[in-house]
Amino acid sequence: MIDLFAGCGGLSEGFRSGFEPVLAVEHDLAAAATYAANFGAGHVHWGDIAGVGEIPEADVIIGGPPCQGFSSLGSRDVDDPRNALWKEYFRFVHRARPKVFVIENVDRFLGSAEFGLLAREAAASGYTLTWGLLLAADFGVPQRRKRAFVVGSRVGAVALPGPTHPKGHWNGVKTAIADLPEVPVSTTLPERVTEVFGRRVPGCFRADELHLGRNPTALSLARYRAVPPGGGRFDLPDELLPRCWREKKTGTTDVMGRMRWDEPSLTIRTEFYKPEKGRYLHPEHHRPITHREAARLQTFPDDFRWCGTKIEIARQIGNAVPPVLARAVAERVADHLGN
Ligand SMILES: C[S@@+](CC[C@H](N)C(=O)[O-])C[C@H]1O[C@@H](n2cnc3c(N)ncnc32)[C@H](O)[C@@H]1O
């Protein structure tokens, strides 16, 4: 397989049981280093996708261009610079001629002009598309993350997987993080660097080294203490409310939110360590979730290794496709190809 826009390799992790990576492309150094630490550096192209000249053959291409704000449906401007990455994706499809390609993206992708362009290009190249929204919780991931998946095939349509854990059988946050210590191990990563692609990068770090806390102010702590499980900013008494929230009586309901043990979390985004950005307070303890907990909620295995600064690793975690969701798609593809 070829993994484009590979990030730290969440998608690859899900596909690794059936497919061997022959090329991964990623331009962020820390993410490429994490990918290399887990899948080997030999097949990683660290750099802009446009700079990849040699494209190997592959049965499957996975990955999806990051959303840079999609154009609205109906606009068919093929020269929109936002389409450049889609054109790159298809450069790989044309050269590698995979039997199947898999694209993951944010849910609004399916209503965008880019999706229209992609569908046209896929049909012109002999690929049949199937697409839909998959909810990670429906596949055992303790997270309500909804993402668009598009599968193109030139060997017969590939159906998307159906839920293995439909609503009522969702895994709660408890299944992922209840065994982890209340008190984070540190507020900083160990001082360690690794050399990869001729550069020095912080890491690699083990999952347990990612159980990182912050240094909240007394005011932040008082706010955390005021929020019950499932609650959020509306539970804060007036004296603890920042002015912007006091004046904004509706909307942004998830900020300063606390998770519930028995329910999946909401989407783990790239700034999950900031409670003011979403429902990221631990179900019980008065702190946001740690990087380690976020990686668990994203279903990364504990032996996954991480490279980069705290902020860079958080971005890798939040940007990733949960491996358990990726595996459900990978199994469909593998079945279809008779692997
Ligand atoms: C949403 S993330 C991918 C997550 C990945 N599929 C996973 O499951 O872990 C998109 C990635 O595309 C990378 N990227 C964006 N533009 C790129 C480009 N022009 N060339 C190479 N990589 C790029 C970003 O650095 C980012 O890591």
pLDDT over 70 for what percent of the chain?
95
Q: How far is the CA of 316 from the centre of ligand 1 (A)?
A: 9
pLDDT score of 251? 72
pLDDT score of 78? 53
Summarised one tens digit per residue, pLDDT across range 220-274 is 999 999 999 999 999 999 899 887 777 777 777 889 999 999 999 999 999 999 9
Is the fold of 2-162+323-336 the same as that of 174-319? no
Residues marked active site are found at: 67
pLDDT score of 80? 62
Q: Strand 199-205 relative to strand 193-196: parallel, antiparallel, unpaired? A: antiparallel
What strands lie across the sheet with 146-153, from one edge to the other? 44-46, 23-26, 2-4, 60-63, 100-106, 146-153, 128-135
Least trusted range by pLDDT, from 106-110, 121-125, 187-191, 204-208: 106-110
63 Cβ closer than 6 Å to some ligand 1 atom: yes
* Closest C-alpha to ligand 1, atom 12: 5
Under the banding of pLDDT at 50, 70 and 90, the label for residue 146 is very high
Ligand 1 nearest-atom number relative to CA 31: 27
Q: Tell me the pLDDT of the chain averaged across its residues.
A: 93
Task: Give the angle subtended at the CA of 133 by the CAs of 127 and 136, to the nearest 5°.
Answer: 120
65 Cβ closer than 6 Å to some ligand 1 atom: no
| Run of H or E including 30 | helix 29-39
pLDDT score of 85? 86
For residue 56, count other CB atoms closer than 10 A to its CB.
Answer: 11
pLDDT score of 79? 61
Range ranked top by mean pLDDT from 171-175, 237-241, 274-278: 171-175
Q: What are the residue ranges spanned by the domains of the chain?
A: 2-162+323-336, 174-319
Give the CATH superfamily of 2-162+323-336: Vaccinia Virus protein VP39 (3.40.50.150)
Mean predicted confidence (pLDDT) in 187-191: 97
Summarised one tens digit per residue, pLDDT across range 52-89 is 999 999 999 999 888 665 655 555 555 666 667 888 99
320 Cβ closer than 6 Å to some ligand 1 atom: yes
Beta-strand ranges (E) seen in the chain are 2-4, 23-26, 44-46, 60-63, 100-106, 128-135, 143-144, 146-153, 193-196, 199-205, 265-266, 306-307
* Torsions phi, psi for 237 (to 5 deg): -65, 155
With CA atoms as reference, report the closest residue to 106 among 277, 334, 270, 291.
270
Q: At the top level of CATH, which class does the domain 174-319 belong to?
A: alpha beta
| Nearest-angstrom CA–CA distance, 24 and 130 | 24
